[in-house]
Amino acid sequence: MVQWSGGETGVGVVAPVMPARGADAFRFTPGTALPGRLGRTGTIVTPHGEIRTPAFIAVGTKATVKAVLPETMAELGAQALLSNAYHLYLQPGPDIVEAAGGLGAFMNWPGPTFTDSGGFQVMSLGVGFKKILAMTADGIRSDEVIAAGKTRMAHVDEDGVTFKSHIDGSKHRFTPEVSMQIQHQLGADIMFAFDELTTLMNTRRYQEDSVERTRRWAARCLREHVRLTDERPDRPYQALFGVVQGAQYEDLRRRAVRGLVDMADEHGGFDGFGIGGALEKHHLGRIVEWVCEEIPADKPRHLLGISEPDDFFAAIAAGADTFDCVSPSRVARNGSIYSRDGRYNITAARYRRDFTPLDPECDCYTCGHYTRAYLHHLFRAKEILASVLSTIHNERFIIRLVDDIRESIDAGHFEALRDDFLGRYYAGRPPASTC
């Protein structure tokens, strides 16, 4: 479990505890409800500690948040980390991670861990859009869509997906059972069922077929998960979340949730649910609300792949409990800095002689010790330290924002925080989505 000793900021150091086993190793307890909405606080209990929700789950794709130590992530207030099953399967291999004692032990992170299923990589390899989830629905409808200049590296069939490695071009095969076997070897506290992620350019007919295929894959994941759990009773329990697809169609989203919830009787049911899929940003809150209205209140709801302030307020109000996104660290490495007054690029010439912190109101290590002028110099000089210091700041900014939102729900001033924060952050430019 991650325990904090940082006083008012909630920043502290890691104190490891032994992983829990048995029936109570994973559970979710709802807390304060957001009046008139589906939003709430809560607590997720895992074998490696608790996660107070709403919570931002920082992404360490290859068992590392790029440019920062796991110990640093704990000091920044991170409650859990998420890694990518596809990438760890290719390198170093799930057998290596398992031999190391599991994902947390491998990367020296004693707190809760998540792994995704590889479903996102199926879409990105298949159509070449890489990390883009929020796209536009304008334009052509085609089930053969592919990004300009890209070649298709993944092919979906009823049984699974055949794909080529982005590393060396070698051929591989993922099925629901293979995804579960890989994730069980990786040993994360929370795993996701293997799903097919479509694009907004796919036809309505394909979206319908894909939702049904994802449901069938989810049932196979659940059966394999039960089998593997029974075979390894000495291991800490790993929770499995079903993933809800359906693009921007309300009927498909609701149908997808009901299909997953109905598996409770036959297979024991999912421990929680993930909300996936490409969507237009301004529809985010509405889509999350459709899904959360169908999910039992005692199950945690994870929204895959968001990290902008307006997205957090919209998704939390609509009922999402946890979120993950690689964006804070990725944009940091490109010099894009979060601040209370909006995002800005530290490489701009006006920061060359600016000796103030990246954000004067931030409590992170970078803002307490370094200036905009120094970060500007590091980026211009292409020094590795630029990525380290900027990532520390961006991760802390996002973690702290979600922590503040959680506290505002408990204290009864969510709307006041939302209006104040977004009004200032997007001053002069309206947010792309609203609650």
For residue 365, the Cα-to-chain-centroid distance in whole angstroms is 24
Residue extents of the structural domains in the chain: 7-325
Angle of helix 309-318 versus helix 384-411 axis, rounded to 10: 30
For 100, list phi and psi in degrees, rounded to 5: -75, -10
User: What is the predicted pLDDT for the residue at 277?
Assistant: 85
Average confidence (pLDDT) over 256-278: 92
Read off the pLDDT of residues 96-142 as tens digits, 9 standing for 90 and up. 999 999 999 999 999 999 999 876 666 555 444 443 444 455 554 55
Tokens describing residue 96? 């290596």
Q: What is the identity of the amino acid at 150?
A: K
Q: Are 162 and 173 in contact (CB under 8 A)?
A: yes
Residue 434 has pLDDT above 70, yes or no: no
* % of the chain residues with pLDDT over 90: 75
Which whole number is the average pLDDT over 226-237? 95
How large is the average pLDDT for residues 349-363?
98
Q: Per the residue annotation, which of 116, 271, 311, 359 is the catalytic one?
A: 116
Region 302-308: mean pLDDT is 90
Phi, then psi, of 412 in degrees rounded to 5: 85, 25
Mean of all residue pLDDT scores within the chain: 88
Rounded to 5 degrees, φ, ψ at 148 are: -60, 135
d(CA 287, CA 281): 10
Q: Flag whether pLDDT at 300 surpasses 80.
A: yes
User: What's the CA gap between 96 and 109, in Å, rounded?
Assistant: 16
Tell me, what's the pLDDT at 278?
A: 80
**Where does the pLDDT of residue 4 fall: very low under 50, low under 70, confident under 90, or very high at 90 and above?**
very low
Domain 7-325: CATH superfamily, name plus number: Queuine tRNA-ribosyltransferase-like (3.20.20.105)
Residue 121 or residue 172, greater confidence: 172
Mean of the pLDDT values across residues 284-312? 96
Asked if residue 9 has pLDDT above 60, the reply is: no
Mention every residue, 6+ apart, whose C-beta is less than 8 A from residue 35.
Answer: none
In the set 310, 324, 359, 403, the catalytic residue is 324
User: Which tens digits make up the pLDDT trace of 31-89?
Assistant: 999 999 999 999 999 999 999 999 999 999 999 999 999 999 999 999 999 999 999 99
Distance from CA of residue 362 to its chain's centroid?
23
Question: Residue 435: which pLDDT band, with cuts at 50, 70 and 90?
Answer: very low
pLDDT digits (tens, 9 = 90+) for 387-427: 999 999 999 999 999 999 999 999 999 999 999 999 999 99
pLDDT at 415 (0 to 100):
98
Predicted local distance difference test score (pLDDT) of residue 123: 55
- CA 198 distance to own-chain centroid: 18
7 or 285: which carries more pLDDT confidence? Answer: 285
Give per-residue burial for 96-111: e unless 16+ CB within 10 Å, then b.
ebbebebbbbbbebbb
Annotation marks residue 324 as catalytic: yes
Rounded-to-integer distance, Cα 24 and Cα 30, Å: 16
More confident residue, 278 or 177: 177
Give long-range contacts, CB 8 A cutoff, 24+ apart: 355-362. 358/390, 358/393, 359/393, 359/397, 362/393, 362/396, 362/397, 362/400
Supply the pTM of this predicted model. 0.88
Per-residue pLDDT reduced to its tens digit, 194-210: 999 888 888 999 999 99
Q: Judging by beta carbons within 10 Å of its beta carbon (0-12, 13-18, 19+), is residue 179 exposed, middle or buried?
A: buried
Query: What pLDDT sits at residue 24?
Result: 72
Per-residue confidence band for 331, with pLDDT thresholds at 50, 70 and 90: very high
What is the pLDDT, as a whole number, of residue 305? 87
The confidence band for 255, taking pLDDT boundaries of 50, 70 and 90, is very high
